[in-house]
């Protein structure tokens, strides 16, 4: 069942971009970091919107981690430490479920002593096992543990489906 269509997701991304711009206006710059896969795809789209609507200097970063077994491998960034050290960071993912993936993503930036860390997700399922919350949310949905939210980007079209 489709929860959000392509135009609806585009609108959510625009709204979130304006909220981010307002929150980071005083910072002047922002590291937009997407968790590999769909999180990075959304980070790219948010970064494009931010560049279109704001004077913020943005740096796009990919966070590389194994979402199924985040402890098994090292979380890494595709930029040098100097590119993120002491800077404000926005971590982006598609769906926030238990919070495990986001915790590991945040830890990569804590090691870099970033000035500020905020989080953005397209969908928040409200099934937290870890004390993590999204600062910017496209849609918040209470789902059962058996249901699954799937974000997809195919041929330039985005969708969010409940499975």
Can you list the alpha helix ranges (DSSP code H) found in the chain? 6-24, 38-53, 100-110
Q: Where residue 67 sits, what CATH number does that domain have? A: 3.40.50.2020
Q: Which tens digit of pLDDT belongs to each residue from 68-92?
A: 776 766 777 777 777 888 999 999 9
Helices and strands per DSSP (H, E), number in the chain: 3, 9
Domain count, the chain: 1
Instruction: List the domain range (segments joined by +) for residue 79.
Output: 2-162
Summarize the confidence of residues 53-71 as an average pLDDT: 87
Closest CA to 117 of 140, 139, 86: 86
Q: Which tens digit of pLDDT belongs to each residue from 102-155?
A: 888 888 888 888 899 999 999 998 777 777 889 999 999 877 777 778 888 888
Tokens found for residue 92: 């982006």
pLDDT more than 70, % of the chain: 97
């Amino acid at each position: 069942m489709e929860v959000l269509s392509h135009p609806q997701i585009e609108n959510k991304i625009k709204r979130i971009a304006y909220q981010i711009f307002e929150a980071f206006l005083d910072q002047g710059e922002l590291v937009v970091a997407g968790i590999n896969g769909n999180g990075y795809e959304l980070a790219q789209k948010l970064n494009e919107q931010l560049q279109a609507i704001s004077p913020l200097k943005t740096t796009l970063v990919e966070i590389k981690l194994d979402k199924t077994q985040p402890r098994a491998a090292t979380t890494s960034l595709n930029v040098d430490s100097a590119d993120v050290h002491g800077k404000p960071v926005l971590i982006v993912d598609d769906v926030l479920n238990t919070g495990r993936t986001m915790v590991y993503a945040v830890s990569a930036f804590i090691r870099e002593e970033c000035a500020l860390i905020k989080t953005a997700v397209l969908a928040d399922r409200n099934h937290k096992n870890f004390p993590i919350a999204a600062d910017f949310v496209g849609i918040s949905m209470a789902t059962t543990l058996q249901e699954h939210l799937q974000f997809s980007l195919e041929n330039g079209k985005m969708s969010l489906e409940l499975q």
